[in-house]
Chain A
């Protein structure tokens, strides 16, 4: 079937099998490989993107469910001139990543978190990030990064 959507501000369309997952479309068709597939079972959050402004797990959504949607992936977060988004900058500044595998999903989830909870407490950050797993267990600095970014967003 034909699908059309906007990804990082650009209109895209393609002919896909109905069973194509959104994350497969993003990674394999669009070659935007910043969105990661971690567990592939909707648990780990590495595949988190924004669909119409809401953080969602793209490995648990069909590409067809995103028909007509505005999709934002990690590649679309920084400005065109390369200036990092405050959340990305905070992750860099506070060493909020170790191996980096969970980072794109963690950042996308955290941006949605701060959009919904401006100036969140540490408790809120920890509770609201529980859909993103970091197997380096580097949560402490991730929480610090989100807190710091919330002051600049």
Chain B
């Protein structure tokens, strides 16, 4: 790991100020991806700004018809939260299936979203549940947040503060996981939300995406059979030693069908 300067601000404003000071500064949330990348020298920030001392970034609040989760809330806290389990069990289940128990005790919602790993689970929840990403500057709709592989709409100096999840009428997340890394080879979140049916797929492509044909079919009839015959083209999907693009395309349909079944 290359050397870096370390800062531990106590407020979002101080963190934003530290971020804008120039150099290649990065925010440190739980560090379960960033520290690993720094050890491999895939990332070598000049400055690391640790967000763990900022109290306003952690916690789970039920607000109106939704749940707002602080960016620094650990996966394990989301997974065992009574409120999340009662109102959005699909989200609690998704968080409880990220990595392993030690990773879940450190990893955070905000860190996962800002990183936008193509095979991460949380992007499927944010896109599939039509959540809103609240930053220190604005509110970003899920459809506008994910821009591509490891790319988001976040601008320089912008920090995720929390994410607001509307409570869906029904939803489920099913993933075909890589048994070694526990990342999604393909994960599908299917939901009937207040703003329509949404089907979000992670793991299959360079970034999370929606499947319009499945959403249309499910809006007409919420049934596993409605999506069983709908497949996504394999062109452009991820292909690696774990799964070919054709296999991932096949898995999208299978995982979608199971998600719809589970969200009955």
Identify whether the interface residues of B are mostly helix, strand, loop, or mixed: mixed
A19 at the interface (CB under 8 A from B): yes
Give complex CA distance A151, B3 in Å: 47
- B229-253 interface mask toward A, CB cutoff 8 Å, 1 = contact, 0 = none? 0000000000000000000000000
> Which B-chain residue is minimally distant from A62 (CB atoms)?
B35
Asked if A18 and B35 sit within 8 Å, CB to CB, the answer is no
Asked if B105 and A60 sit within 8 Å, CB to CB, the answer is no
Asked if B1 and A19 sit within 8 Å, CB to CB, the answer is yes
Asked if A41 and B5 sit within 8 Å, CB to CB, the answer is no
Tell me which residues from 24 to 58 in chain B have a Cβ below 8 Å from any Cβ of chain A: 28, 31-32, 35-36, 38-40, 48, 50, 52
Asked if B101 and A40 sit within 8 Å, CB to CB, the answer is no
> Which B-chain residue is minimally distant from A48 (CB atoms)?
B102
Give complex CA distance A18, B44 in Å: 13
Asked if B6 and A109 sit within 8 Å, CB to CB, the answer is no
Asked if A41 and B182 sit within 8 Å, CB to CB, the answer is no
Chain B residues in 8 Å Cβ range of A116: 80
Chain A residues in 8 Å Cβ range of B264: none
Minimum distance in angstroms from A139 CB to a CB of chain B = 14
Across the interface, A18 reaches (CB within 8 A) one of B4, B36, B80, B99, namely B4
Across the interface, B103 reaches (CB within 8 A) one of A17, A40, A64, A131, namely A131
Asked if A65 and B52 sit within 8 Å, CB to CB, the answer is yes
Chain B residues in 8 Å Cβ range of A65: 28, 31, 50, 52
Chain B residues in 8 Å Cβ range of A61: 31, 35, 106
Q: A61-B35, A61-B106 are in contact. Are A131 and B6 (CB under 8 A)?
A: no
Give complex CA distance A43, B182 in Å: 10
B181 at the interface (CB under 8 A from A): yes
Give complex CA distance A113, B28 in Å: 26
Across the interface, A112 reaches (CB within 8 A) one of B48, B101, B180, namely B101
Chain A residues in 8 Å Cβ range of B48: 18, 62
Q: A43-B180, A62-B35, A65-B52 are in contact. Are A57 and B103 (CB under 8 A)?
A: yes
Asked if B36 and A54 sit within 8 Å, CB to CB, the answer is no
Asked if B35 and A60 sit within 8 Å, CB to CB, the answer is yes
Interface size on B, residues (CB 8 A): 30
Chain A residues in 8 Å Cβ range of B143: none
Q: A60-B32, A61-B106 are in contact. Are A19 and B50 (CB under 8 A)?
A: no
Minimum distance in angstroms from B79 CB to a CB of chain A = 10
Across the interface, B36 reaches (CB within 8 A) one of A42, A113, A128, A131, namely A42
Minimum distance in angstroms from A18 CB to a CB of chain B = 4
B76 at the interface (CB under 8 A from A): yes
Chain B residues in 8 Å Cβ range of A132: 100
Asked if A55 and B101 sit within 8 Å, CB to CB, the answer is yes
Chain A residues in 8 Å Cβ range of B40: 41
B8 at the interface (CB under 8 A from A): yes
Minimum distance in angstroms from B248 CB to a CB of chain A = 23
Q: List 5 A-B contacts (CB under 8 A).
A: A41-B39, A41-B40, A56-B102, A112-B105, A130-B182
- New A-B pairs, 4, CB < 8 Å, besides A19-B4, A43-B181, A54-B76: A21-B35, A55-B102, A57-B103, A65-B52
Contact residues of B with A, CB < 8 Å?
A: 1-6, 8, 28, 31-32, 35-36, 38-40, 48, 50, 52, 76, 80, 99-103, 105-106, 180-182
